[in-house]
Structure 1
Amino acid sequence: MTGIIESSPAHQHFSRYMYDIRVIIKFSVILGKDASCIHKDLVTVLGENAPIQTVRKWVNAVSEGRDDMEDEPRPGRPVAACRDANISNVLVSLSDDR
């Protein structure tokens, strides 16, 4: 069942943003780049907000053969930090930094 938070426009935009980052990571791994190099590339594009933990996680996943870049469903209730207002604030902050 999809909750209110997961179906909000802000959450969908953020989810798409993270999906795009994972696809870039996958493409970079295929090109033979390591996590450090990929992170530097992302910092060049996204600034200091480039998510190093995400890079490491997905470099490992792709290197181990993962092809699907979608998040896997997680049990439990949504994290309270993923409220529309918080997500919107982060997205505004990211766009202001560009």
Structure 2
Amino acid sequence: MGGNLKDFTVLDAFDSLFLNGKANQEAQNPSKYLLYQDPMAGTFDREVVESGVGTGAYYEKLKKMMEICQENSPEYVTLFAYYEKLAAVLTYKADLGVHIKIF
């Protein structure tokens, strides 16, 4: 339909945060629960800390990848722009609860 298949496969990375590049066979969805969790409650903060993944850097890289996807697949620029915004929010929100509790 005019898009680049590789651009669409990049979308899998949103939920491969804790999988170290492995396929997401268990349908984990950290992008969803990290976005919607209350940072003051910290329901999923333990997973962020124990994983040792730099969530901010991970989602910042993904944000840049979404910018590239917009250039590669102009027919789907709106879709990739949406995911770029999601990555931008998760860059700061994914580990916000961890940082709040440090202070």
TM-score, normalised to structure 2, is 0.27
TM-score, normalised to structure 1, is 0.28
Higher relative contact order (CA 8 A, sep 6+): 1
